[in-house]
């Protein structure tokens, strides 16, 4: 089995904070501890204001090992309201990137 990763389509991440709270609940993290953190990037571009969000898995992210061992998706991926996150083999997720611009791939561990 190869390394696993988190694929995020930031064209569609709305910054809704679901992944953050899903992670805290799953791991019983108190407020102040984050397994994933959403970053907001707001910039004035040529003729518009560009608003992007990008969730960043922290060093506490274990890719929900307790869930994936049972075939469940990580809690952030399952609950993502924009359905813009995927979990899987890095080699498979890279292929997704071939087809979809505005994406990033994290290999947290």
Closest of 84, 80, 78, 82 to residue 96, by C-alpha: 84
Q: Does 82 bind other proteins (CB under 8 A)?
A: yes
Among 8, 10, 36, 53, binds other proteins (CB under 8 A): 53
- Among residue numbers 11 through 50, which ones bind other proteins (CB under 8 A)? 11-12, 14-18, 20-22, 24-26, 30-32, 42, 44, 48-50
Cα 66 to Cα 83: distance, rounded to the nearest angstrom: 21
Token output for 62: 């274990």
**At closest approach, how far in Å is the CB of 65 from other proteins?**
14
Query: Which residues are at the interface with other proteins (CB under 8 A)?
Result: 11-12, 14-18, 20-22, 24-26, 30-32, 42, 44, 48-53, 75, 78-84
């Amino acid at each position: 089995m190869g390394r696993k990763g988190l694929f995020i389509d930031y064209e569609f991440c709305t910054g809704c904070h679901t992944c953050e709270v899903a992670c805290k609940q799953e791991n019983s993290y108190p407020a102040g501890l984050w397994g994933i953190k959403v970053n907001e990037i707001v910039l004035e571009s040529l003729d518009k204001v560009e608003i992007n969000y990008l969730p960043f898995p922290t060093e506490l992210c274990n890719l929900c090992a307790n869930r994936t061992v049972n075939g469940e998706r990580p809690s952030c991926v399952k609950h993502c309201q924009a359905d813009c996150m995927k979990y899987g083999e890095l080699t498979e997720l890279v292929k997704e990137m071939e087809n979809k611009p505005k994406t990033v791939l994290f290999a947290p561990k």
